[in-house]
Amino acid sequence: MMSFLETYGGQLLVKTWQHIYISGISLLLGVLVAVPLGVALTRAKRVSTIIISLASMLQTIPALALLAFMIPIFGIGATPAIVALFIYSLLPILRNTYLGVEKVDPTLIDSAKGMGMTNWQSITKVELPLAAPVIMAGIRLSATYVIAWAALASYIGAGGLGDFIFNGLNLYRTDLILGGSIPVILLALIVDWLLGRLESILTPKTART
């Protein structure tokens, strides 16, 4: 491993940053789209089944096929990878946001309205905080998916740690395979731990109990 770091240490830093960039942007876009959409679907239950079913259908598309499909539209590089991973990140966040908000005790929502809260205040101050553990579980799951699938982005020239993995497979080099795989695993574990800490911060004490 020391010889690998001596030879590829600089590349490892660059490719790790590429991996974080692709994964982070994809997950952030997924959160920005899926959380508001999940809340909106609790107010429009007639279309909720259709939207969630559509997201489920997109999730079943093989990752490589979706990445390849993006090439004629966006070309090669980071952009098609981010779009494809963003699509993959949607379902767990969307589904958990919908379920989390839907399961908030209606009595608490009625109490919020009785206190004069607007619908927006009820969502931001009551429903989302109480649904935070369920929502964060979806975000953590999506983060794990996105970090793992981002390794496939090297197939379309997006870079990242997948370059080491697939070069190692092509050249029968165990050091390259491990040099790409181990950082991906560590990255997934670290991000999951950080999101777990964020979940503790966002979740009210009453919801934890």
The span from the CA of 154 to the CA of 57, in Å, is: 24
**What is the pLDDT tens value at each position of the chain, 209 positions in all?**
667 777 777 888 999 999 999 999 999 999 999 999 999 998 887 888 888 888 888 878 887 788 888 888 888 888 989 999 999 899 899 999 999 998 888 888 788 778 878 888 888 888 888 899 999 999 999 999 999 989 888 888 888 888 888 888 888 888 888 888 999 999 999 999 999 999 888 877 655 55
pLDDT at 36: 94
- For residues 110 and 96, the answer to whether their CB atoms sit within 8 Å is no
Contacting residues for 141 by C-beta, under 8 A, at least 6 apart = 92, 96
| Contacts of residue 151, Cβ cutoff 8 Å, sequence gap at least 6 | 19, 160, 161, 162, 165, 180, 184
pLDDT at 1: 63
Res 208: pLDDT: 52
User: What gap in Å lies between CA 80 and CA 156, rounded to an integer?
Assistant: 8
SS3 107: helix
Q: What's the CATH number of domain 2-208, 1.10.260.40, 3.40.50.740, 1.10.3720.10, 3.20.20.140? A: 1.10.3720.10
pLDDT at position 189 is 94
User: CB count, 10 Å around CB of 117?
Assistant: 16
